Amino acid sequence: MKAIAVFNNKGGVGKTTLLCNLAAHLALRKQYRVLVIDADPQCNATQSLFEDDVVDGIYENDEFTVDTVIRPLAQGKGFSSSLTPRHSQSFGVDVIPGDPRLALTEDLLATDWVQAVGGNTRGLRTSFVFSNLLEKCADYDLVLFDMGPSLGAINRAVLLSTDYFVLPMSIDIFSLRAMENISRSVHKWKNQLESGVENNHEPEELEVSDPRWKLQFAGYVSQQYTAKRDATGTRRPVKAYEELMRKIPVSIEANFVDATRSDGLTAAEYNLGTIPNLHSLIPMSQSSRKPIFELKGSDGVVGAHFQKVKEYEVIISEVSSNLIANIDRL
C-alpha cells in the first residue's frame, strides 16, 4: 500500500477535482484498490463523491468519518481500532468521509507537536494518528488524502504519515510562491520529527511500525490554463501561461527535489500532466456525482462537450500513468 497526499498551500487550484478524478481513474480504469481519505474539514471530496442525501445521513447518524479516527485520541483513549469506509459506486473507490469537526482537533495536534519535537511519547502518538490509520489500510493498493490549503497541524500530521505528495497547481505567480512555503515547512517538519523520534525512549509505545519520515515528491499537475491548438493540432497554453509554465520546472527542482530527496527523476518527469480549463464539465461532474471522464448526455453533456470529455480521459490517463511510473521508480 502506498499513501499519496494531494496538496498545495494555495487554494482554488482544483485539488479536490484532481483527486476525485485521479482516484476514480486508478480504480475504474486501472483496477487499483483505492481508498480516499477526506482530511479537509470543508469536506469537498465527500460532497463530490456522494449524493446529498448520503452525505446528510453520514452526519445525522454519526457514521464513521475522519473525526471518528481522531476523536478517541483527543479523549485520551488511544488510537481508534475501527475502520469502516463507505463505498462510492460511481467513482469506484472506498472513502473515509471528511468531517467539519476535524477542524476542532487543530489545537490538539498543534499543542502535542511541540511535545513531539522533544521526544514526548504522547506528543508523537498524537502526531502519528494518520500513520496508525494507514497501517489498517493494507487491503488497499493506494490511499489518497484530500487536504485543505493550510500549512497547519492537520496537514502536517497527514504529510508526515504519507509516502508521496502530488502538487496540483494553477499557472500563476502565487502557485510558484506557494512552493517555497511548502518546501520550507516540509524541511522543518522532517528535521523536527527526526529529532523527536531520536529523543524518544519508548518506541514501542508509539504503536507505529515505522516512525521515520518517508515523504517524497511524486510530481505536479498544471491546471486551469487556457489552451489553443497549433497548426499540428497539438494543444498548447496561450503565451501568457506558457511563460509562467517555463518557470515551473526550475522552481520544482529547487524547492522539492532537494527538500524531499526525490532525486531519482529528472525535472521533466515530475510533470505528471497539464489540464486546461474544463469550464462547465466540472459543475456537471459535481452535480451528477460522476468522474468527468464518465459524463454522458444524460448528465448534461451536449455538442462539443462530448469531445472535451474524451480529451479529459486521455489527459487523466496520462496523469495516472505518470504518477504510478514515478512511484515505482522513487
- The DSSP secondary structure of 70-127, one letter per residue, reads HHHHHTTS-S------EEETTTTEEEE---GGGGGGHHHHHHHHHHHHTT-HHHHHHH
Phi, psi of 109 (to 5 degrees): -65, -35
Band (223; pLDDT cuts 50, 70, 90): confident
Q: How confident is the model at residue 77 (pLDDT cuts 50, 70, 90)?
A: confident
Q: Which residues contact 226 (CB under 8 A, 6 or more apart)?
A: 237, 238, 241, 276, 277
Q: Is 201 helix (H, G, I), strand (E, B) or coil?
A: coil
Q: What is the mean pLDDT of residues 82-88?
A: 94
Query: For position 261, what pLDDT does the model report?
Result: 52
167 three-class SS: strand
Digit-coded pLDDT (tens) for 226-285: 555 555 666 555 555 667 777 788 888 888 875 555 556 877 899 999 898 888 899 999
pLDDT of 322 higher than 80: yes
Say how far apart CA 15 and CA 45 lie, in whole Å. Answer: 9
Q: What is the pLDDT of residues 89-137, one digit of tens each?
A: 999 999 999 999 999 999 999 999 999 999 999 999 999 999 999 999 9
How much is the pLDDT for 149? 93
With 0.85 as the threshold, say if the pTM is over it: yes
DSSP code string of 223-261 = EEE-EEE-TTS-EEE-HHHHHHHHHHHHHHIIIIITTTT
The DSSP output letter for 166 is: E
pLDDT, tens digit, for every residue of 144-197?
Answer: 999 999 999 999 999 999 999 999 988 777 778 888 899 999 999 999 999 999
pLDDT at 279: 80
Q: Residue 224: what pLDDT?
A: 62
Spell out the domains of the chain, with CATH numbers in brackets: 2-329 (3.40.50.300)
Lowest mean pLDDT among 99-108, 132-141, 209-218, 220-229: 220-229
Strands 86-88 and 142-146: unpaired
Angle between helices 15-28 and 281-288 (to 10 degrees): 60
Predicted confidence (pLDDT) per residue in 277-309, tens digit: 888 899 999 999 999 999 999 999 999 889 999
Q: Please indicate whether residue 261 or residue 11 has the higher confidence score (pLDDT).
A: 11
* Assigned C-alpha cell, 46: 465527500
